[in-house]
Structure 1
């Protein structure tokens, strides 16, 4: 067997090992995404005493993100337009519900009266009652949808990359006062570097050729 064939066979073996590992990764990822896609929201009381909503996350490539998520939602498509690369998207619905808010006047009004009614708007609704003693608001309901996008932005094509998190609310009465966004960086271990495997392949090829 000539040296060139030995080197070709070695590279084919290495390529096959890499392909098998890649196939296994996508297979596991498909199973996990299938489970996550069927998951429902779970609520629990967290360590600081408030309620947390939890659900499994989908794991997709950037191409899958565009095809399966962004392109199917017109609002998401518009919100992600300014990102060079999207790293994560969180979209959730929330509502503010308050049963009753009652305020009594410090000094009662001399005349006896009572007024009541309903206010219904796209972004809020409630019932109200007012009399000589004070006023009461009940069944207050405020809906909102929030979209959180973390991704990479560039000022121009070859500009410096910056990781940015943006939060958008559908309800115009909702405002965001503070954001703290942290991304964990996990550098690839040295044994996963492509140039290390290339060097190993070349070294093995040289050894075989001798």
Structure 2
């Protein structure tokens, strides 16, 4: 009878140990998820920061939103028709970066070799979806006012495969929404980030089963 009770208590202790280890894993995961959500809230309320870099040009920086696959699909892909279309060919999407730019070309004056023997002035402006410019023509030459060109890019990194069970290839695709802009070269680099030792479901499950088995035996 005493041996029977001992075995029961060992079995109960083993089950409790497994449950405790699983709860610890869930607790660690919850802490990590809470930290991620707090970081995302901060990123949403942080404005773009522009600064002059060591190359002498401008760099614009913003904090990155980190989402699960489901969150990315629900909050980004399904809410933007352009992104939805561009991500259809991906087996897995890792990152989506949207960029908007404004290019300003300084104005210039082109004088005529010989003034036109007539006094006149014609001036105006052209406004299109992707650019705007002003001009002035008189008897001495043509003056172009600053030209403003608007740009928009969608950059997607992830994996593509030629068929359902085919080999996955890591790719980066850059799409210009401005039809007058052409990308002439793309190079993409990525580092692999090793997971922390405790960030593994298999590790925690194995630890729970081993601990439970040792207690039971």
Whether the TM-score (by the shorter chain) exceeds 0.5 is yes
Larger Cα Rg: Structure 1 or Structure 2?
2
Bigger RCO of structures 1 and 2 (CA < 8 A, at least 6 apart): 2
What is the DSSP-based 3-state SS (H/G/I as helix, E as strand, rest coil) of the residue aligned with 2:193?
Answer: coil
Equivalence for 1:183? 190
1:70 aligns with 2:92: no
CA-CA distance at 1:3 after TM superposition:
3.6
Equivalence for 1:112? 117
User: Per-residue displacement from partner, 1:101-134 (whole Å, max 9, x unpaired)?
Assistant: 23345xx125335543322222222112234544
User: Per-residue displacement from partner, 1:141-183 (whole Å, max 9, x unpaired)?
Assistant: 1112111111111111111111111111111110111111111
User: Per-residue displacement from partner, 1:74-93 (whole Å, max 9, x unpaired)?
Assistant: 11111111111111111121
- Alpha-carbon RMSD across the aligned residues, in angstroms, is 2.1
Gaps of 5+ in 2: 1-7
1:135 aligns with 2:103: no
Gaps of 5+ in 1: none
User: Per-residue displacement from partner, 1:33-79 (whole Å, max 9, x unpaired)?
Assistant: 11100110111011211111111111101110000111111111111
Residues 1:131 and 1:109: Cα distance change in structure 2 (over 3 Å): farther
- Once structures 1 and 2 are overlaid, which stretch shifts more, 178-187 or 125-134? 125-134
Query: Size of the alignment, in residue pairs?
Result: 208
What is the DSSP-based 3-state SS (H/G/I as helix, E as strand, rest coil) of the residue aligned with 1:71?
Answer: helix
Contact 2:25 2:201 in 1 (8 A): no
